[in-house]
C-alpha cells in the first residue's frame, strides 16, 4: 500500500498491519524481519514508513484508567490527543503538551517527544509521561519508567519508534478551568523586535511567533507574536451562562483535491504572507482552544495545497548564543529565493529533555514549509549548512531529506542512543525509511 507522511513526500509502497491488541503486535514482531510503528501519520517525512512492515496502531486506542484527582491517565498508544480532549476536557483536563495538530497519537507524541507553545516552561510531552509499556524486538513486553529500565524510557522519548512499539502509556493531564484561551497578539516590525517579543513573553504559558519569511531588507523577520493562557472561570464571557466547557465542536473543512502547483509561486505566497501579517488583530481576545492551539486543523488535509509532489518541512533549533545571526542568515536566503514558506513559525525553547534524540534545546526553533522541488531541495541543503555552522539541529519528526552528517553533528548523544539499541535491538529490527537514510 502506498504510504507517506503528512508532507506526501516521499511515497513508499509499504506492507501495512493493523493490530488490535498486544498479542497481534508481538505476533507481527515475530513474523517480520524489520518493522516500524506508525500512529496517525502526522510526522511530515519518512519516519513512520517501512516497506517490510508498517504497524499502524490506531486501533489500539482504549483508555485503561483515569484518576480524576490527579489527572493521571493510562491509555493505549493509538489514542489521539483529539480523543483525549473530547473525553477529558469537559471534566477539566487538557494535555500538558500538545503539538499544532490534535490528530496525533500518544505513541507518536512520545516517539517524537513533541513540544508545544509552552516548551519554555513545561518541556516536551515526555516530561509528563510516568511510564511506557513497550513491545521489544524479542517479542517481550516491558514497562519502562524512571525506575524500571530508565535507559529505555529515555531512549524511547524522541526515539522515533526505533526502540520498539509503544503499547500503552501513563501520563499527566493539566487541570484547566475552561475550554477557552486568553490570547494576546502583537505585531513586530523586524527580527530583533520579534525575538524581543518572544523573550518578553517567556513568562506566559504559551507563546509563538509567525514570521513573514518573504519580507526583506529592514522588514526581515517581521511577524505576529501570540501569547496565551488558559482562561479561568473569571474570564468566562457572559454569553456562556457560566458553562466552562461549552464550545460547540468546530466544523472542519476539507481541501478536496490537490490544486495545480502553479498556484503557489512567489507572488501568491508573498501576497498571502502580507495579508496574514496585516489581518492579525492585535490586543487581547478570548478564543476557543481549537483556534488557539489548532488553527490548521480547521482545514482538514490542508497538506494537499502543496500539490501532488508534496512538501517538506525544515525545522531547526538554534542555540541562544548565535540564534539572531543564524535566523537572519536563514531568512535572508529564503526571502532571496522567494519560493519559500506559507508558514514560518518561531518559538522559544527551554531546557533539553531526557531523550538522547529529543529535539528541542534552549534556543529558538524555526519551522518552514517548502514544496518538494529540486530547487527547494538545494536551498534546504544550504539552510542545513547554516544550521550546522551555528550548532543547531534538525527535527526528525519533520525531516524527509536531511543527511547523516547533520544527525551526527546535531545530536551529540547519538552514541548513548545506539548503546541502548545495542542492548534491546542488536539486530536493528526496528527501522524506518528515515533511519536507513540517516544511517541510524
* Beta-carbon contacts of residue 370 (< 8 Å; ≥ 6 apart): 311, 312, 313, 314, 339, 340, 341, 376, 379, 380
In the shown chain, the binding pattern of residues 140 to 169 toward ligand FAD, with x for contact by CB under 6 A and - for none, equals: --------------------xx---xx---
**123 within 8 A of 385, measured Cβ to Cβ:** no
Build a one-symbol-per-residue string for 69-108: x at contacts with other proteins by CB under 8 A, - elsewhere. -------x----------x---------------------
Q: Is the sign of the CA dihedral 299, 301, 302, 307 positive or negative?
A: negative
Q: Which stretch binds ligand FAD (CB under 6 A): 96-104, 195-203, 319-327, 405-413?
A: 96-104
Cell readout for 424 is 534491546
100 or 391: whose CB is closer to ligand FAD?
100
Please say which residue, 20 or 266, places its beta carbon nearer to ligand FAD: 20
Question: Which span (28-36, 57-65, 201-209, 348-356) binds other proteins, by CB under 8 A?
Answer: 57-65
Number of other CB atoms surrounding residue 354 within 10 Å: 18
Element (H, E) at 83: helix 81-88
From the list 14, 53, 73, 114, which residue makes contact with ligand FAD (rule: CB under 6 A)? 114
Rounded to whole angstroms, how far apart are CA atoms 31 and 373?
38
Binding partner at 169 among other proteins, ligand FAD, none, C-beta below 5 to 8 Å by kind: none
Task: From 90, 89, 5, select the one nearest 98 (Cα to Cα).
Answer: 89
How far apart are alpha carbons 41 and 103 in whole angstroms? 9
Give the HSE-up count for residue 120: Cα atoms under 13 Å, Cβ half-sphere: 21
Contact residue for other proteins among 24, 32, 51, 63 (CB under 8 A): 63
* Chosen residue from 4, 79, 112, 131 binding ligand FAD by CB under 6 A: 112
Considering CB under 8 A, how many residues would be counted as binding other proteins? 9
From the list 40-48, 88-96, 220-228, 231-239, the region that binds ligand FAD by CB under 6 A is: 40-48
Q: How many residues does the chain have?
A: 440
Grid cell locating 175 = 487541570
Please state the closest distance from residue 233 (CB atom) to ligand FAD, in A.
Answer: 28
User: How many Å apart are CA 385 and CA 340, to the nearest integer?
Assistant: 17
Most distant CA atoms of the chain, gap in Å: 61
Are 370 and 379 in contact by the 8 Å Cβ rule? The answer is yes
Identify what 63 binds: other proteins, ligand FAD, none; CB under 5 to 8 Å per kind: other proteins
The helix/strand/coil state of 283 is: strand
Q: Which is nearer to other proteins, 23 or 385 (by Cβ)? A: 23
Report what 366 binds from ligand FAD, other proteins, none; CB cut-off 5-8 Å by kind. Answer: none
Check residue 65 for interaction with other proteins (CB under 8 A).
yes
Closer Cβ to ligand FAD, 95 or 244, answer by number: 95
Site residues (CB under 6 A) for ligand FAD?
5-6, 36-43, 47-48, 57, 77, 99-101, 104-105, 107-109, 111-112, 114-116, 160-161, 165-166, 296, 397, 432
Site residues (CB under 8 A) for other proteins?
21, 61-66, 76, 87
Amino acid at each position: 500500500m502506498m504510504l507517506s507522511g503528512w508532507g506526501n513526500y516521499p511515497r513508499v509502497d509499504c506492507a501495512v498491519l493493523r493490530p488490535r491488541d498486544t498479542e497481534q503486535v508481538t505476533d507481527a514482531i515475530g513474523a517480520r524481519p524489520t518493522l516500524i510503528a506508525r500512529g496517525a501519520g502526522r510526522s511530515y517525512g519518512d519516519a513512520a514508513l517501512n516497506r517490510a512492515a508498517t504497524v499502524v496502531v490506531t486501533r489500539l486506542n482504549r483508555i485503561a484508567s483515569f484518576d480524576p484527582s490527579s489527572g493521571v491517565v493510562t491509555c493505549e498508544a493509538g489514542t489521539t490527543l483529539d480523543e483525549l480532549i473530547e473525553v477529558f476536557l469537559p471534566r477539566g483536563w487538557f494535555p500538558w503538551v500538545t503539538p499544532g495538530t490534535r490528530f496525533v497519537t500518544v505513541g507518536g507524541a512520545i516517539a517524537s517527544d513533541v513540544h508545544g507553545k509552552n516548551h519554555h516552561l513545561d518541556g516536551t510531552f515526555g516530561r509528563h509521561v510516568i511510564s511506557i509499556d513497550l513491545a521489544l524486538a524479542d517479542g517481550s513486553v516491558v514497562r519502562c519508567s524512571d525506575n524500571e529500565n530508565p535507559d529505555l524510557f529515555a531512549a524511547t522519548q524522541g526515539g522515533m519508534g526505533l526502540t520498539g512499539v509503544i503499547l500503552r502509556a501513563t501520563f499527566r493531564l493539566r487541570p484547566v478551568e475552561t475550554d477557552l484561551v486568553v490570547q494576546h497578539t502583537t505585531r513586530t516590525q523586524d527580527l530583533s523586535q520579534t525575538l524581543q517579543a518572544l523573550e518578553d513573553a517567556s513568562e506566559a504559558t504559551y507563546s509563538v511567533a509567525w514570521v513573514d519569511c518573504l519580507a526583506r531588507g529592514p522588514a526581515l523577520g517581521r511577524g505576529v507574536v501570540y501569547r496565551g493562557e488558559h482562561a479561568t472561570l473569571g474570564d468566562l464571557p457572559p454569553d456562556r451562562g457560566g458553562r466552562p466547557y461549552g464550545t460547540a465542536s468546530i466544523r472542519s473543512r476539507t481541501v478536496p483535491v490537490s490544486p495545480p502547483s502553479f498556484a503557489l509561486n512567489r507572488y501568491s505566497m508573498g501576497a498571502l504572507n502580507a495579508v496574514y501579517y496585516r489581518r492579525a488583530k492585535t490586543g487581547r481576545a478570548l478564543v476557543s482552544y481549537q483556534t488557539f492551539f489548532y488553527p490548521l486543523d480547521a482545514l482538514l488535509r490542508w497538506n494537499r495545497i502543496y500539490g501532488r509532489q508534496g512538501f517538506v518541512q525544515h525545522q531547526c533549533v538554534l542555540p541562544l548564543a548565535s540564534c539572531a545571526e543564524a535566523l537572519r542568515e536563514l531568512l535572508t536566503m529564503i526571502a532571496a529565493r522567494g519560493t519559500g514558506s506559507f508558514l514560518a513559525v518561531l518559538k522559544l525553547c527551554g531546557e533539553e529533555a531526557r531523550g538522547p534524540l529529543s529535539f528541542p534545546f534552549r534556543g529558538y526553533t524555526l519551522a518552514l514549509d517548502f514544496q518538494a522541488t529540486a530547487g527547494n531541495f538545494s536551498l534546504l541543503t544550504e539552510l542545513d549548512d547554516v544550521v550546522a555552522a551555528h550548532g543547531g539541529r534538525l527535527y526528525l519528526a519533520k525531516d524527509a531529506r536531511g543527511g547523516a552528517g547533520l544527525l551526527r553533528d546535531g545530536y551529540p548523544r547519538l552514541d548513548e542512543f545506539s548503546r541502548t539499541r545495542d542492548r534491546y535491538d542488536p539486530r536493528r529490527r526496528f527501522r524506518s525509511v528515515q533511519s536507513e537514510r540517516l544511517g541510524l
